[in-house]
Structures are given as structure tokens and as C-alpha cells.
Amino acid sequence: MKKTILILCCFFYLQLNAQTVHETPVQPPAGIPAEQDSIDVVAEDAAIEDIIQSRKAPQQEKVQYLSQLTKYGFKNLFSKYSFNPALPYSSQVNPYAESYMQDYLRAHSNSLVKMKSWGLPYFSLIDNIFTQYGLPRELKYLAVIESNLNSGATSWVGAGGPWQFMPYTARDYGLVVTDTYDERRDYIKSTHAAARYLLNLYKQMHDWLLVIAAYNGGPGRVYDAMKKSGSRNFWSLQYYLPEESRNHVKKFIATHYVMETNASLGSLNGSGLFAPTGSTGSPYNNKPSLTQAEAEQAETQTISGKFNSVIIAKNLAMDIVQFNRYNPSFDNMLSENGQYDLTLPSDKMQLFLANKYQILNECVQMLLGDNNIPNSRTVYPQKKKS
């Protein structure tokens, strides 16, 4: 009898601890405008719970409400909470992420680049469904690291389908799993279930990187890492997580990088995010790959400030590929070092120097806002002749 009472006491103690971690208030991300400083977590959780219980896509007004709140879940990955493809990747992603995903990119960049074309129909389908639930579009890449987009995938522990649901989890979210019929293999039904499951995890974590770790290892391991680290920030608690869950996040970030940028097999090395296997020396020793004639006609000027390669190239009427040949890893190295030896053809350098401060101003304005970079050049007023 005493043994039974002791076991029950231990059980209730563990439940109380788990609940304490679960109900830890979420700190709003820094930089949110005053009217958004206080996120109504209770209302958000209630809206999510209603969607989970209804087992159907929510009404439009609720989708708009959720999409405005769940975007802050990437506050620890992107500087603006979501990725802007018009800006350099390295200027938006958390600095911790770059070295974190290097080894995965070396091993899998080839297959990921190929998936950008053949996986497009799958990404469109997932995008369409996730939008109905107010989920960030970046989350579709979770299906890449879970199953390689393969509906027939089955893990050694019995997880199946593109979202790798265990049978009991699949049933909890409305999927039929029997000996003869398995809706985990149905792309549309399983993606609806995945949307509700991700929302349920977000209701507990309020951070998408933690959700991805919990998707792999379970919420309990993430709660444990929170307690041991005293933090809800993934970068602070990552080494208290199992290695597999930590690597799951690394795979997600690396996959997002390849899918969302114009990286190709030949250009990944020049992205500044990693060097090819077997390379030696510092990544800052990269030299322009110019012909002898181009090198003779080029000029070099040391610059500093918040310059952006896309905006410089636009204002100089240069193709961005040509600009990168003259200035490999420009954005990443300028961000890391604070200065860069800008190399340009002689006529382009003169144009840059004549408009240097106007170009810098445009770069800073782009950095402060979320607007897309216009395709046309900025037209500056002509100086009045004396």
C-alpha cells in the first residue's frame, strides 16, 4: 500500500513539473511594434485548440489571426521573423545557423538541388493546405527531412507517410490506420493532420525551431532541455536536446536555405555558407575568378557599411552573377568583417563612387523594411551646372 502511494505521489509531482514548464509565459520577441508587444497567448491557444478539435480547416478570419501570430515563431531564426528572398540569406538568418548546417549541406546539397524541380507539385500542395491553417510556408520543408517527400516511406519504428506519423498519433488527428488501409499515405489527408499536429506543438512551444525538435523527439525532451538550460531559446538549449533532435533542426535550416535561394551545385560554394569538402584555408581568402583581361581593367576599393550586393549590382546595371564573380561571398564577408575590398570594372567603380552614399542609403532602407527590391535602377537627380 505504501509503495502504491509513493508511486502516485511521484507521478503527480512529475505531472506538476511538466505543467509548470508547459505554462511558462512566452516572452514576446524584441523589436515588435508597441501594439504587438503583448501576445495574447491564452486567446491564441484557444483558437488553436478549436481548430485541432474540429478536425477541419478553420474559418478565414481565424486563419488571418493565426498567421499574424505564428509568424513570430521564427523569431530565433530570421531577423524579420520570415524569409525575404530579395535579400541575401546571410543578412537575415541567425548567425548561429550558418556553421550549424554546414556538414549537412556538404552531404545533401546535390539531392536537395534536384528536388527543387521534381518536388514542386508536392510543395504547392502543402503550401495550399498550410495556408488554410495560417502556418508559415517554411514548414513544408519538414516533409523533406522526414520522408524525402515520399508517401511510401516507413521508418524502423513504424512511422509512415510523408509526415512520418506513428499509428497512434495519426489516429489522434483523424487518420484511419488499419491493417488494410492507411491514410498516412494519403498526401492531402495526412498534410491536413500534420497542420493540426504542428499547431498543437506550437501551442506548447511558441517557437518553430522547438516545434521541429519536438516533432522529432517529442515535447517531453524539449521540456527537459528547457528546465536544464533555463531557457526557451533553441540556440541556448540545443545541447541539452538529444543529438538526433538537434540535427533535425539543422537539416530543416539547411533544406530551407537550398530551396529558398538560387543556390545551385556550382554556386553553393560561393554563397559564403560553406566551403566544399576537402577545401583548405580560410573562407575569407576567396579571390575573384577573373580572366587576365578583366583583372587588368578592374579596380579595387575598400568599403564598409550596410551595403547589399543586389542593390549595388542593380544601381550599376550589372548582372548579379557577374557581380559575384568579381566579389565572391560579398554579403557574408562584409557582415562578418565590417569591411570588404570591392572589385569592379573601372567604369562601374567610377559609377559606384559617384553614387556611393545614395546606394548605401537605399541598402539601409531595404535592411530596415520588408519591401522587395525593385528591378529598375534608382534614378538620382542630376547635379545643377554652375
Instruction: Indicate if 234 and 348 belong to the same structural domain.
Output: no
Domain count for the chain:
2
The answer, as to whether pTM is greater than 0.85, is: no
CATH code, 208: 1.10.530.10
Task: Determine the structural domain holding residue 96 and report its residue range.
Answer: 38-260
Instruction: Indicate if 202 and 289 belong to the same structural domain.
Output: no
Q: Is residue 57 helix, strand or coil? A: coil
Instruction: Indicate if 192 and 315 belong to the same structural domain.
Output: no
Residue 219: which of 228, 210, 229 has the closest Cα? 210
Instruction: Indicate if 334 and 234 belong to the same structural domain.
Output: no
- As to burial, measured by CB atoms within 10 angstroms (0-12 exposed, 13-18 middle, 19+ buried), residue 290 is middle
H helices of the chain, in order, are: 2-22, 41-54, 60-70, 95-100, 102-118, 120-131, 142-147, 167-172, 187-205, 208-217, 219-229, 234-237, 243-260, 292-296, 309-315, 320-326, 330-337, 346-354, 356-368
Instruction: Indicate if 132 and 233 belong to the same structural domain.
Output: yes
Instruction: Indicate if 221 and 292 belong to the same structural domain.
Output: no
16 inside domain:
no
> What single letter denotes the amino acid at residue 15?
Q
1 inside domain:
no
Instruction: Indicate if 224 and 289 belong to the same structural domain.
Output: no
Q: What is the pLDDT along the chain (386 residues), one digit of tens a residue?
A: 545 555 445 444 444 343 333 333 333 333 333 333 345 677 777 778 877 777 666 777 777 777 877 878 888 888 777 777 767 777 788 877 776 677 777 778 888 888 988 998 999 999 999 988 989 989 999 999 999 999 999 999 999 999 999 999 999 999 999 999 999 999 999 999 999 999 999 999 999 999 999 999 999 999 999 999 999 999 889 999 999 999 999 899 989 988 887 654 444 444 444 433 333 333 334 556 678 788 888 888 889 888 888 889 888 988 877 888 888 888 878 877 788 889 999 889 989 998 898 898 888 877 665 444 444 444 444 555 55
325 inside domain:
yes
Instruction: Indicate if 184 and 292 belong to the same structural domain.
Output: no
Kindly give the interhelix angle for 102-118 and 120-131, rounded to the nearest 10 degrees: 90
Instruction: Indicate if 290 and 358 belong to the same structural domain.
Output: yes
The three cell numbers of residue 70 are 505564428
